[in-house]
Amino acid sequence: MSTLNKTYPSVAVRVALLKKLKTQIKKQEKEICEALAKDLGKPTFESMLTETQFVLAELRHTIKHLRGWAVPKRIPGSMLNFPAKEYIYQHPYGRVLIFAPWNYPFQLTLAPLIGAVAAGNSVVLKPSEMAPNTGAVIKDILTKVFDIKFVTVIEGGPLLAKELLKQQWDYIFYTGSTAIGKEIYQAAAKNLTPVTLELGGKSPCIVHESASLKVAAKRIAWGKFVNTGQTCVAPDFVLVHESVKQQFTQYLISAIKDLYGENPEENTDYGKIINKKHFQRLIGYLEGTKISHGGTSNETSLYIAPTVVDNPSLQSAVMSEEIFGPILPIISYTYEKDLDTILKKYEHSLALYVFANNKEFTNAIIENYAFGGGCINDTLVHLVNNQLPFGGIGNSGIGKYHGKYSFDTFSHSKAIVKRSKLENPLRYAPYKKKTKLIKLLYRFIN
């Protein structure tokens, strides 16, 4: 038996820890939902749908498949190495730093943690200080499940984050704004630390003239206003063909009323803005705009009604930054070249949604534009399948996760060739008369 020290937890230990985490989340699910209600005004159903049950599903999937993911994968060998056996080994990076956001403070904290632990890393986790109640519950849960040498939860604000970034890490995972993501990237570059950056951007939603308008309106309203619009992949604005814009807008307003009633402020299914800073930012977006629906607010309760803005200028404040709140601009387009101009202005979004019953049109959008992920004739639901990768491109992020993609993200793939005593003399000098043979071999090795 080897006397070498084993630095990383075995797969069996990782599985046991993840099972323990699953059990503890189930025990404290009510407490988690209560914390989410305090921080974001989330109804219990929404907290379960988008936070606790999402995480539990991720845990079940990871626990079920982890042993298979972690087994060294034998791959076809190269003739140049013959005779040999060739493998890919998955190895933990080591010390991982995870920065979590405030908008889905449970899901977006635990989901990357699951991947990091599954891959065998130790983790220092900083929950968002802007969702303190949820952060406290997370710390309580993780302290009960993990030894401090595996997972450490550190609470604090931007100053703590800066101090953490001064340390050397083996991997950094950040979810949040593009501006802060760039700062994270710069700090990581000093030590050549690999990163995953889950960022945002203005995710467009296109409604083609062939779309089923009533269905589109309902699904867009849900995708936009769930979590009070504070979702990184929410439709940020809607591009509607001018021939159906008026009818679509009417359906959209009706869908909002169906979801939240005539007075959403009194509806317990509708949440609140995270804090006064973000409330004032969102109210500022409404200045000078034409409001088709909503627009009412209450700073005391951090309430902003589901709001529809009609044809704002592309140079306006509401179209210059990611909204991240319950304000939905509706912009008409006439020709596909107009659509192309707007989409290129907001390229590399985290998500893109298309509502159309024209396959040629939808295929052209998917193939011609770069974005993180999206849906045809729906919104948000591409996040549900843990066999699909989630991540951005360009300004919307670097890297991907969910399911096995999380395990792969937090693992270094080591290429290993195991040779026998049998020798292949081709590679050795003298090289005379071997030129034609090596050319021939390279034609067939892969």
Pairing of strands 297-298, 204-207: unpaired
pLDDT 10s digits, 18-59: 999 999 999 999 999 999 999 999 999 999 999 999 999 999
pLDDT 10s digits, 80-131: 777 889 999 999 999 999 999 999 999 999 999 999 999 999 999 999 999 9
Q: Per-residue confidence at 369, pLDDT binned at 50, 70, 90?
A: very high
Does the pLDDT of residue 435 top 90, yes or no? no
Q: What CATH superfamily classification does 204-385 receive?
A: Aldehyde Dehydrogenase; Chain A, domain 2 (3.40.309.10)
Higher pLDDT, 405 or 434: 405
Specify the pLDDT at position 1: 41
Does the pLDDT of residue 420 top 90, yes or no? no
**d(C-alpha 27, C-alpha 379), whole Å:** 31
Longest dimension (CA), the chain: 87
**d(C-alpha 73, C-alpha 64), whole Å:** 18
Specify the pLDDT at position 5: 53
Sequence-distant (≥ 6) Cβ neighbours of residue 24 within 8 angstroms: 141, 144, 145
Contact between 333 and 239 under an 8 Å Cβ cutoff? The reply is yes
Give the chain's end-to-end CA distance (angstroms, integer): 37
Q: Per-residue confidence at 445, pLDDT binned at 50, 70, 90?
A: low
Average predicted confidence (pLDDT) for the chain: 95
Q: Per-residue confidence at 431, pLDDT binned at 50, 70, 90?
A: confident
Specify the pLDDT at position 442: 76
Domain extents in the chain: 11-199+397-413, 204-385
Mean predicted confidence (pLDDT) in 61-88: 91
**d(C-alpha 44, C-alpha 47), whole Å:** 5
How is 376-425 classified by DSSP, letter by letter?
ESSSSGGGT-TTS-B---GGGEE--BSTHHHHHHTEEEEEEEEE-S---G
pTM of the complete model:
0.95
Higher pLDDT, 356 or 421: 356
Catalytic positions, please? Answer: 198
Q: Per-residue confidence at 2, pLDDT binned at 50, 70, 90?
A: very low
Specify the pLDDT at position 80: 74
In words, the CATH class of domain 11-199+397-413 is alpha beta
Specify the pLDDT at position 284: 97
48: which 2 tokens? Answer: 């379960």
Among 237-241, 254-258, 402-406, 417-421, the range scoring the smallest mean pLDDT is 417-421
DSSP 226: G
**d(C-alpha 308, C-alpha 245), whole Å:** 13
Over the range 235-266, which residues count as b (16 or more CB within 10 Å of their CB) and which as e? bbbbbbbeebbeebbebbbebbeebbeeebee
323: which 2 tokens? Answer: 């909204």
Mean predicted confidence (pLDDT) in 263-290: 97
Considering only CA atoms, which of 282, 367, 369 is closest in space to residue 328?
282
Mean predicted confidence (pLDDT) in 381-404: 96
Mean predicted confidence (pLDDT) in 179-187: 96
